[in-house]
Amino acid sequence: MRHAFAAVRGAFAALLLTTIATTAAAQGSRVVGIVKDESGQPIKGATLSLENPDAIPRNFTATSDDRGRFAIIGLKSGEWSIVAQAPGYIADAGRVVVRVAAPASPTFVLRRAPQPPPSALGNVGSNSLQADLRTADQQYNAQQWDQAIASYKAILAKAPALSFINLQIGAAYRSKKDYDDAIVAYNEILKADPASDKARVGLGVTYLEKGDLGAAENALTQAAQAPTASRELLYSLGEVEAARGNTTDAMKWYQKASASDPNWGKPLLEMGKTSLKTGDRANATAMLERILAVDPASAEAAQARSMIEQLR
Question: C-alpha angle 297/41/79, rounded to 5°?
Answer: 30
pLDDT tens-digit profile of 37-61? 888 899 988 888 888 877 778 788 8
Three-state DSSP state, 69? strand
**29-37 vs 107-110, strand pairing mode:** parallel
Contact 144, 85 (CB under 8 A): no
Query: For 23, how many CA atoms within 13 A lie in the half-sphere containing its CB?
Result: 6
H or E, element range at 51? strand 47-51
Strand partners, 80: 96
Please, which residues have CB within 8 angstroms of residue 164's CB and are 6 or more apart in sequence? Answer: 114, 189
pLDDT tens-digit profile of 11-28? 433 433 333 333 333 345
N- to C-terminal Cα separation, the chain:
47
Contact 71, 48 (CB under 8 A): no
Cα(256)–Cα(155) distance, integer angstroms: 37
pLDDT tens-digit profile of 115-148? 655 555 455 555 677 788 888 888 888 889 999 9
Buried b / exposed e along 203-232 (16+ C-beta atoms within 10 A): bbbbbbebeebebbbebbeebbeeeebbbb
Cα(43)–Cα(144) distance, integer angstroms: 22
Strands in 29-37's sheet, in edge-to-edge order, are: 69-75, 29-37, 107-110
Identify the pLDDT of residue 198. Answer: 82
Supply the Cα-derived Rg of the chain in whole angstroms.
Answer: 23
Predicted confidence band at 101 (pLDDT cuts at 50, 70, 90)? low
pLDDT tens-digit profile of 154-190? 988 888 877 888 888 998 999 889 999 999 999 998 8
Look at residue 199 and tell me whether its pLDDT is greater than 80: yes
Identify the pLDDT of residue 117. Answer: 55
Identify the pLDDT of residue 3. Answer: 45
Identify the pLDDT of residue 219. Answer: 83
Look at residue 288 and tell me whether its pLDDT is greater than 90: yes
| pLDDT above 90: percentage of residues in the chain | 21
Q: How many CB atoms lie within 10 A of CB 255?
A: 15
Look at residue 216 and tell me whether its pLDDT is greater than 60: yes
**29-37 vs 59-63, strand pairing mode:** unpaired
What is the CA 244 to chain-centroid distance, rounded? 22
List, in sequence order, the alpha helices (H) in 44-164.
126-141, 145-158
Q: Considering only CA atoms, which of 295, 297, 216 is closest in space to residue 258?
A: 295
Look at residue 6 and tell me whether its pLDDT is greater than 60: no
Identify the pLDDT of residue 158. Answer: 82
Greater pLDDT, 21 or 150: 150
Predicted confidence band at 267 (pLDDT cuts at 50, 70, 90)? very high
Q: Residue 98: left if φ>0, alpha if ψ -120 to 50, beta else—which one?
A: beta
Contact 269, 288 (CB under 8 A): yes
Give me the amino acid identity at 88: G
**78-85 vs 47-51, strand pairing mode:** antiparallel
Look at residue 8 and tell me whether its pLDDT is greater than 50: no
What mean pLDDT is predicted for residues 297-311?
Answer: 86
Cα(170)–Cα(185) distance, integer angstroms: 5
Contact 14, 66 (CB under 8 A): no
Average pLDDT of the chain is 80
Cα(193)–Cα(164) distance, integer angstroms: 9
| pLDDT above 70: percentage of residues in the chain | 84
**What domains can be seen in the chain, in order of their start residue?**
27-112 (2.60.40.1120)
